[in-house]
Chain A
């Protein structure tokens, strides 16, 4: 079972010392119709610190910031797992630098190309989220759980699903075995957290 496609904003960290480039990128994002939240930084370390509170999925930075600081950059990448790092390539950088990034934006790319690139990254980040299985329960077990969580007894559930009470009990045993949750109120919280029932 897949989670409903969560339309979460793309959380972007941007570190670009050149005001012309930064403001250009900013206005491109505003016009892009992407759902995003952008945070602007002066230094790389600030990104790592802020990442503790706000999980970025994308960081767009100037490679100028990592010249002679390659080790620091590797360290920061380690501190920010799950972030895709994109370089704004304004001048030629040797492959040792550009190889540290997942992708690049070229200074002469048009806005359509850049926005498309970001959209693709957004989708990738979202699908990574949505492929997380929400529950190991079978469809039948999910049905039993939904009725159970809405307060029905074994007998009532058996009548609605047209199965025997013993079968309901077996499903309940399996649900508990799979989730590790034994009580009905615990299972109700589980069902809500997995979006199986409405609170």
Chain B
């Protein structure tokens, strides 16, 4: 869920202050592998400790805070492993945490009213999630290994780079619109599905759906505006050399 705050994040900003202002940043820290307690550590201190480019951290934190307009150009190829790990952690969060939470709440709604609509909602959500999983699987099995191979070709001497004809352009095209179903689900729950003693589970379900949506939005922004441009640059280097 976007939480708008006006803190302009600088390297000297205390990270704890950012999280106090916007608790959703806790998720970002988790994906970066940064653990609580944060004490009085500044952005630059925390990034140095965890091997994260300060510009990358500030870009993502601004994205979470809704203050970001443009991405920094100060990212370098060396940021690739951190970005990949971040995205992988996010994948795991979807499948291991968010999905079971949402499904449990839909089932809770189903148990308080075994209406046909709720049964269909469960089916609908499962279809939606199957699409998400397919997308994640594609990234885990095709995109990320490809990016890793490129990265190694650039950084390790004598690393053989086998060009299998794949390019980041293909990945860009593969990005399909999986947000529609999520938006439908929210509309149905908020506007149309008749209530049957399910107010509390419905409210909690909505909170989770909004969180999921916001995280997915940030996830695809990172892919489109951080990963894809960096990979395109790496391709130029590697493939330009080999030709």
- Give me the interface of A with B, judged by CB distance under 8 Å: 53, 179-183, 185-186, 188-190, 192-194, 199
Residues of B within 8 A of A179 (CB): 187, 191-192
Q: Which residue from chain A places its CB closest to the CB of B187 in the assembled complex?
A: A180
- 16 extra interface residue pairs, beta carbon distance < 8 Å, beyond A185-B120, A185-B123, A186-B187: A179-B191, A180-B183, A181-B184, A182-B183, A183-B181, A185-B181, A186-B185, A189-B117, A189-B120, A189-B188, A190-B192, A192-B117, A192-B120, A193-B117, A193-B188, A193-B194
| B241 CB, nearest partner CB in chain A, Å | 45
| A145 CB, nearest partner CB in chain B, Å | 13
Q: Is B156 an interface residue (CB 8 A)?
A: no
Q: Which residue from chain B places its CB closest to the CB of A187 in the assembled complex?
A: B184
Residues of B within 8 A of A186 (CB): 124, 181, 184-185, 187-188
Asked if B127 and A185 sit within 8 Å, CB to CB, the answer is yes
Residues of A within 8 A of B194 (CB): 193
Asked if A192 and B197 sit within 8 Å, CB to CB, the answer is no
Asked if B192 and A199 sit within 8 Å, CB to CB, the answer is no
Asked if A192 and B181 sit within 8 Å, CB to CB, the answer is no
Known: A189-B117, A189-B120, A192-B120. Is A182-B192 also a contact (CB below 8 A)?
A: no
Known: A192-B117, A199-B116, A199-B120. Is A183-B184 also a contact (CB below 8 A)?
A: yes
A7 to B88, CA, bound (A): 53
A186 to B192, CA, bound (A): 11
- Give me the interface of B with A, judged by CB distance under 8 Å: 116-117, 120-121, 123-124, 127, 180-181, 183-185, 187-188, 191-194, 197
Residues of A within 8 A of B184 (CB): 180-183, 185-186
A194 to B188, CA, bound (A): 11
Residues of A within 8 A of B192 (CB): 179, 190, 193-194
Interface centre among B123, B127, B187 (most CB of A within 10 A): B187
Asked if B188 and A181 sit within 8 Å, CB to CB, the answer is yes
Residues of B within 8 A of A185 (CB): 120, 123-124, 127, 181, 184
Q: Which residue from chain A places its CB closest to the CB of B184 in the assembled complex?
A: A186
Known: A183-B181, A199-B116. Is A189-B187 also a contact (CB below 8 A)?
A: no
A194 to B117, CA, bound (A): 10
Residues of A within 8 A of B191 (CB): 179-180
Residues of A within 8 A of B185 (CB): 186
A181 to B187, CA, bound (A): 7
Which are the 4 A-B pairs with shortest beta-carbon distances?
A186-B184, A199-B116, A180-B187, A182-B180
A179 to B186, CA, bound (A): 11
Residues of A within 8 A of B183 (CB): 180, 182
A179 to B187, CA, bound (A): 8
Q: Which residue from chain A places its CB closest to the CB of B197 in the assembled complex?
A: A53
Known: A53-B197, A189-B124, A193-B193. Is A183-B180 also a contact (CB below 8 A)?
A: yes
| A24 CB, nearest partner CB in chain B, Å | 32
Residues of B within 8 A of A190 (CB): 188, 192
A55 to B181, CA, bound (A): 32
Residues of B within 8 A of A193 (CB): 117, 188, 192-194
A199 to B119, CA, bound (A): 10
Asked if B127 and A192 sit within 8 Å, CB to CB, the answer is no
Residues of A within 8 A of B127 (CB): 185
Asked if A188 and B120 sit within 8 Å, CB to CB, the answer is yes
Q: Which residue from chain B places its CB closest to the CB of A185 in the assembled complex?
A: B124
Residues of B within 8 A of A182 (CB): 180, 183-184
